[in-house]
Structure 1
Amino acid sequence: MRVKIYELSAQSLWQDRGTGYCSCLFIDSINDYCLVVHAESDESILLSSPVMKEDQYQKQQDSLIVWSDKGSNSDLALSFQEPASCADIWDIFPIYHNWVLLECNRSYLTLRPPIYYSLRFLSPELEIWFNPSKFEMPTPSIGTLPKILDLLKQSTITQYRRDLIMAYIHRTKYLDQLIPVFETCEDLEAIDDLHILCRIMKHIILIADDAMINHIIEDDIIIPVVGMFEYDPDFPSPKVNHRAHLSDPARFKEVIPLEDPVVKKKIHFSFRLQYLKDAVLVGLSDEGICQGLNTKIFYYNMEIVVSIENNHEFLGRLVEIVKSPDEPESKKHDVVLFIQQLCFLTKSFQPGIKSNVYRALSQNGLFDVLEYAMTSDSDHIRLVACELITTILEFDRLLVRSYILAQAKQGNRPLVKILAETFTSDKSSGVQMQCFEILRVLLDVLVSGVPDAMQSALIEGVGGTSSAVAPTSQVDSETEQFVSLFYETCSNQVAKPILSLTAEQVAELHHLPAIQAQVYVLVCELLTFCIRQHSFRSRFFVLSGTVVEQLGLLLTARVKHIQLAALRFFRACVGTTDNFVIRYLIRKGILERIMVLFDQNKGRYNLLNSACLDFFEFVTLRNLKPIITHLARQYTDQLTEGITYTSVTKQLLQRFGHNMESQRLLEDRRGSGGATSNLTDGPAGWSTETIDDDEGAYFDTSDGEDNSLGDSPVSPIAPKPPATPTTHSKSKPKDKD
């Protein structure tokens, strides 16, 4: 093996120390292996460097071996003429070097010609390498604990070393031998030895395979093992009592005894693995261990859920307990909590598998249990029921909708009715919030496949469409039936907290605790969501009742987030660009209340001011003429005076001027007898080719009702002065078609 020797000088330059032939030999005088290089010319020794464990060897560019020689205190390098020669020398290192080099490959080395390894008799370490059965660990005792720990620390060097130690632990049942030593140390209160035992168990778990993990969670092993972790030297105080937690029989409560011992055993194993991962091994940051435990937990959970899912008799008995008037409430609560735990086990399942599990449970009375839980007197049980419904909706909302529609067809009280009543009457803020989220998911009719940007465009009517939701053809008939059922049976219940408000109560809202005032915000948010999602049904609900007037009262509340929620509702109503809805808002004095709110805010830098400006900006961009005309004629001074931080109000007034100019040109053309074509009036979507004077008067005058804010009547839009008489006919011209 022809090589060149290089040494790194003080100036960080590699200097040539000669050329020769390299070999790795066992030297009797030092009783160790050495790298020896004989000179090419006279066979004198150019280099004799012992292979030391402390030296860091590196293989570079397939033909270089570089290391720091402790004996000469210098950096050396061997440059081989042939890469194969470099590989031959490199392969010898891990055999002697106690497997420090991770590149070792035992199967490859045993196939190498023996000439490299039989120069002298094999050392004990090499003999173990070629004959693993000769490997032994110290017999567990208090005196040998430090040696055991040192040996386990070496197991992190190579995978082969780990396999060697783990095979010995399995073969000799080494873990079982450590348990009596632990009990002895605990009886003697030998804290230092207990700390060593804890470290030993950490190393065993770090190198443990599936078989070892299965052995650890067995009934007679798990308690002593977690007991060793109670003496963790990294967390000496307070002492965690893992054994008491796992030994507590109350941790495993059977609502109905499980007859299958295999399922019961798997439940215990899954719980122990989860506890090991979340509590006992929380200080270990080894990704391999966490991943291995998660995999085992996943498969155990899968087997448990499938077994219970297919046990129809067991599930039927659970539902009977809930329906029986003779069963105590505590046992019924246990049924609900059992269903919660069963669904919790599916959290790591794939969505399709989860959906199948929920459908199977629903066929065995899942919703009967949920209906009972929603009407329970316990806040905790109601909250659990809401969480379960939310979990089901996340993966299969059609399952819940189908069940509710089936209830309605049978004449039963639908689940959505229970949700609406709980939403408006429950005293728990958590339950209220959960019911709000459930109703919002159930009422979501936008197509899941449509991108968010497109859905936003549909909601706002961007691109000339006045539809607030996706086209009806994209919404399945079952969803349409559910939405119809909601407006027929639940819409008034959802709006009940606001419909029952009086002006005196609104004036006192700021004295209510935030939790009690939350319901008004949630109702506003849900109604806003309905306006944006549902087209004619939500608008009919708004126009046919007193919702607008009551929400207008909330604009006068002295609670900013309630005012903001009400303002968002009216912004959504305007966002429909429906002319009838817009004129209805004007007639009910909503614009007056918004202007009062805007004026009271006095340009403060807050969300309320931004929401008002957003309202004006949308009206201007979409050129909603009824609103622009009303605001410009009634509130010109308020829109101009003192507002210098934004140009939104100025643009609104400019838009009003452009509209008036267009109207004047239109009247001039009519006065001269000219035809009009391709003119657009009103909001987007209200287009016609010709407009007669009667139609123009309809859109430019009020509905004949007085709007009021306080004691001051609000004047309707001022009528235009009559146009100059002309001789053209007043009848509406025919369409060009």
Structure 2
Amino acid sequence: MAEQEGRDAEAGGDAAAAAVASHTSSMQRVKVYRLADGGKWDDQGTGYVSIDYIEGSKELGLTVLDEDDNDTLLMHNITSDDIYRKQEETIISWRDREAATDLALSFQEAAGCSYIWEHICDIQRNLQFSNLGALEVGPRQSSESLEASRIMHSNDDSFRSANGGEFRELPPVELSNLPFILKTVLEAGITDQMHVAELITQDNDFFPKIVDIFRMCEDLENIDDLHMIFKLVKGIILLNSPSIFDKIFSDEFILDIIGALEYDPEVPRVQNHRAFLKDHVVFKEAIRIENVSVVSKIHQTYRIGYLKDVILPRILDDATLASLNTMIHSNNASVISLLKDDTLFIRRLFARMRSSDISMESKRELVLFLHEFCTLSKSLPLVQQLRLFRDLSGEGVFEIISDVLQSQDRKIISAGTDILILFLNQDPNLLRSYIVQQEGNSLLGLLVKGMVTDFSEEMHCQFLEILRILMDSFTTSGAHRDVVIEIFYERHLDYLVDVIASSCPPRSLSRSSSNSVHVGGNAEGHCIKPEILLNVCELLCFCVVHHPYRIKYCSV
């Protein structure tokens, strides 16, 4: 019996030695760096790194021995935590939580860096697999863990085609297979990424099963598996597949996907994104949208923006970020396109805004909705933008804006001037035509009075910009532009001249130290701020440059 035990021990020792040999790297020359308090990387020395069992421990780790005296420069236990980063071709860095510092290895050769990185990834997968308890319940020896890693690789290879490269299929979506699926997603190269994404989208049960596993783990408060699901969902998003985005941002899966992203292993507390979306985000309709597809697109666009800007801002790479922005842009274009083609919706909107029995709050929401509608129209092709603005002009949008500019609410006045600038940037003749046909020319008068009204500095500039574009002599000439210029000189120039003239104190009075000046005469006695006077002067100078033949007949 003792003899048999001796042979078993000897065999076990040989197996352990073989396992160690498979994980012990050839010596790779590196520099060791430690991040100092001032944010500077301190050189800790040069040596040779290997992966082996840490002395006095049954865990695998990184050991760096000094190239001169063989002293230990670094000893680090490799963990399953997602702390390791490969930067460029020759650097591996991580956050050592025990030492409370950041460490980095700078390799002399890119091949050596890749060799060590692959071994770190192998050991991490092995540890994650061990945590699942799929092979054995309870603690296991390191040699057994290495054997589990071998089994996992064998299982992984069974899902590949005969050439050992392309995946034929994904493992069945089960809790025990999550490490395999995670490995497949995280290690896919550029070519494999497209194929893995295709396999995921072709499997109609993939996301329903992932969601079921997530809900089960959450009910059981299985934090380790929830961390793994977080990594898997993050990896799937980083596959950057439009067909995958269509699935995960659908109403069916989005809340569970967001729920999975609440369990970031690098964040000490579980986040509450779903609670925020359910309890604090309210979809307010200024006017009811009957088209279900439009409402769905609006919800989806908000969720994409929330995931991009709140949940994963530090994780998304440039390519995925660009794809999400493109998706948001496409959704906006789709929403605007569907609404602009709904003639009944536009008419209901304007009829509601013209109504005399709506509250100021409702009117405010309608104006802000119209402002957002016009702003998002920039996502449409230019031809469709022009057609939309012409349709809105025909429905009476400028009458609505005239009423808005007479409001006491500065926010909707600012929205009104923004809308006018959008129209002018698209086709100035739409607004010019309205001003020419308008009886009493009240809109042009409101714009001129807006220049000398005590709004914010930004709004003063908006009024100035609108008047400049309306009377710009460098644009294509047209009868409407010339008529607008004539109306301005005949009815409104004197008003602005009075503003400047009345602001000058009589010579007998000492210059006031006040920040405002008094205006009388035709400009209705009140105080005018210097920045308002500056804008008036800028407009008069603009007139001198663009209309010298007209301005010379005015006594300024």
TM-score class, shorter-chain normalisation, is 0.5 to 0.7
Using the alignment, how far apart are the partners of 2:212 and 2:240 within structure 1? 21
Q: 1:179 aligns with which of 211, 229, 248?
A: 211
* CA displacement at 1:328 relative to structure 2: 0.8
1:342 counterpart = 2:373: yes
* CA displacement at 1:375 relative to structure 2: 1.6
Q: Which amino acid aligns with 2:543?
A: C
The aligned runs of 1:471-490 (5 Å cut-off) are 475-490=477-492
Distance 1:487 1:242, change over 3 A: farther
Using the alignment, how far apart are the partners of 1:531 and 1:132 within structure 2? 72
TM-score of the two chains, using structure 2 as the length reference: 0.63
1:521 counterpart = 2:534: yes
* CA displacement at 1:129 relative to structure 2: 5.2
**Is the contact between residue 186 and residue 194 of structure 1 (CA under 8 Å) also seen in structure 2?**
yes
Q: 2:287 aligns with which of 248, 256, 260?
A: 256
Q: 2:496 aligns with which of 494, 497, 501?
A: 494
**Is the contact between residue 371 and residue 415 of structure 1 (CA under 8 Å) also seen in structure 2?**
yes
1:289 counterpart = 2:291: no
The aligned runs of 1:89-100 (5 Å cut-off) are none
1:535 counterpart = 2:535: no
1:199 counterpart = 2:212: no
Aligned-residue sequence identity (percent) comes to: 28
Using the alignment, how far apart are the partners of 1:533 and 1:68 within structure 2? 65
Write out per-residue CA displacement over residues 36-64 of structure 1, whole angstroms, 9 at most, x where no aligned residue.
Answer: xxxxxxxxxxxxxxxxxxxxxxxxxxxxx
Using the alignment, how far apart are the partners of 1:219 and 1:176 within structure 2? 13
Distance 1:216 1:432, change over 3 A: same
Distance 1:535 1:306, change over 3 A: same
Distance 1:256 1:290, change over 3 A: same
Aligned counterpart, 2:184 = 151
1:508 counterpart = 2:539: no
**Is the contact between residue 170 and residue 199 of structure 2 (CA under 8 Å) also seen in structure 1?**
no
Using the alignment, how far apart are the partners of 2:319 and 2:532 within structure 1? 47
Aligned counterpart, 1:389 = 420
Using the alignment, how far apart are the partners of 1:235 and 1:398 within structure 2? 56
**Is the contact between residue 472 and residue 546 of structure 2 (CA under 8 Å) also seen in structure 1?**
yes
The aligned runs of 1:225-240 (5 Å cut-off) are 225-233=257-265
* CA displacement at 1:269 relative to structure 2: 2.7
Aligned counterpart, 2:463 = 435
Using the alignment, how far apart are the partners of 1:240 and 1:527 within structure 2? 57
Q: 2:453 aligns with which of 410, 425, 429?
A: 425
The aligned runs of 1:47-58 (5 Å cut-off) are none
Aligned counterpart, 1:266 = 297
**Is the contact between residue 424 and residue 493 of structure 1 (CA under 8 Å) also seen in structure 2?**
no
* CA displacement at 1:204 relative to structure 2: 0.3
**Is the contact between residue 359 and residue 399 of structure 1 (CA under 8 Å) also seen in structure 2?**
yes
- Find the residue that maps to 1:258 and give its secondary structure: coil
Gaps of 5+ in 1: 1-66, 74-122, 448-473, 548-737
Write out per-residue CA displacement over residues 626-674 of structure 1, whole angstroms, 9 at most, x where no aligned residue.
Answer: xxxxxxxxxxxxxxxxxxxxxxxxxxxxxxxxxxxxxxxxxxxxxxxxx
**Is the contact between residue 185 and residue 193 of structure 2 (CA under 8 Å) also seen in structure 1?**
no
Distance 1:509 1:187, change over 3 A: farther
- Find the residue that maps to 1:486 and give its secondary structure: helix
* CA displacement at 1:160 relative to structure 2: 3.3
Q: Which amino acid aligns with 2:505?
A: A
**Is the contact between residue 159 and residue 168 of structure 2 (CA under 8 Å) also seen in structure 1?**
no
Write out per-residue CA displacement over residues 99-138 of structure 1, whole angstroms, 9 at most, x where no aligned residue.
Answer: xxxxxxxxxxxxxxxxxxxxxxxx7465465897863336
Distance 1:443 1:506, change over 3 A: farther
Aligned counterpart, 1:217 = 249
Aligned counterpart, 1:135 = 169
Using the alignment, how far apart are the partners of 1:380 and 1:302 within structure 2? 25
Using the alignment, how far apart are the partners of 1:440 and 1:233 within structure 2? 56
Distance 1:350 1:169, change over 3 A: closer
Aligned counterpart, 1:376 = 407
Distance 1:150 1:384, change over 3 A: same
Distance 1:168 1:441, change over 3 A: closer
- Find the residue that maps to 2:374 and give its secondary structure: helix
Distance 1:228 1:493, change over 3 A: farther
Aligned counterpart, 1:680 = none
**Is the contact between residue 308 and residue 321 of structure 2 (CA under 8 Å) also seen in structure 1?**
yes
Aligned counterpart, 1:87 = none
The aligned runs of 1:313-462 (5 Å cut-off) are 313-407=344-438, 411-447=439-475
Using the alignment, how far apart are the partners of 2:288 and 2:447 within structure 1? 32
* CA displacement at 1:241 relative to structure 2: 4.3
Write out per-residue CA displacement over residues 242-280 of structure 1, whole angstroms, 9 at most, x where no aligned residue.
Answer: 334543585422222222222222332333334334444
Write out per-residue CA displacement over residues 345-394 of structure 1, whole angstroms, 9 at most, x where no aligned residue.
Answer: 22333433322221111112222222222122111111111111112212
* CA displacement at 1:193 relative to structure 2: 4.1
Distance 1:529 1:245, change over 3 A: farther
**Is the contact between residue 497 and residue 519 of structure 1 (CA under 8 Å) also seen in structure 2?**
no
Gaps of 5+ in 2: 1-108, 116-156, 518-526
Deviates more, 1:125-134 or 1:281-290: 125-134
* CA displacement at 1:339 relative to structure 2: 0.9
**Is the contact between residue 333 and residue 379 of structure 2 (CA under 8 Å) also seen in structure 1?**
no
Write out per-residue CA displacement over residues 558-592 of structure 1, whole angstroms, 9 at most, x where no aligned residue.
Answer: xxxxxxxxxxxxxxxxxxxxxxxxxxxxxxxxxxx
* CA displacement at 1:499 relative to structure 2: 2.9
Q: Which amino acid aligns with 2:462?
A: Q
Distance 1:250 1:377, change over 3 A: farther
Distance 1:391 1:153, change over 3 A: same
TM-score of the two chains, using structure 1 as the length reference: 0.49
Distance 1:163 1:324, change over 3 A: same
Using the alignment, how far apart are the partners of 1:158 and 1:319 within structure 2? 51
Using the alignment, how far apart are the partners of 1:140 and 1:253 within structure 2? 40
Distance 1:169 1:515, change over 3 A: farther
Using the alignment, how far apart are the partners of 1:538 and 1:446 within structure 2? 16
* CA displacement at 1:329 relative to structure 2: 1.1
Write out per-residue CA displacement over residues 422-462 of structure 1, whole angstroms, 9 at most, x where no aligned residue.
Answer: 22123333322221222122221113xxxxxxxxxxxxxxx
Q: Which amino acid aligns with 1:492?
A: D
* CA displacement at 1:165 relative to structure 2: 5.5
Distance 1:485 1:273, change over 3 A: same
* CA displacement at 1:484 relative to structure 2: 0.5
Aligned counterpart, 1:671 = none
Q: 1:163 aligns with which of 173, 195, 205?
A: 195
Distance 1:485 1:161, change over 3 A: closer
Using the alignment, how far apart are the partners of 1:534 and 1:286 within structure 2? 53
Aligned counterpart, 1:681 = none
Counting matched residue pairs gives: 395
**Is the contact between residue 166 and residue 208 of structure 1 (CA under 8 Å) also seen in structure 2?**
no
Using the alignment, how far apart are the partners of 1:247 and 1:175 within structure 2? 22
Aligned counterpart, 1:108 = none
Using the alignment, how far apart are the partners of 1:401 and 1:160 within structure 2? 57
Q: Which has the higher contact order (CA 8 A, sep 6+)?
A: 2
Using the alignment, how far apart are the partners of 1:244 and 1:412 within structure 2? 54
* CA displacement at 1:487 relative to structure 2: 1.2
- Find the residue that maps to 1:436 and give its secondary structure: helix
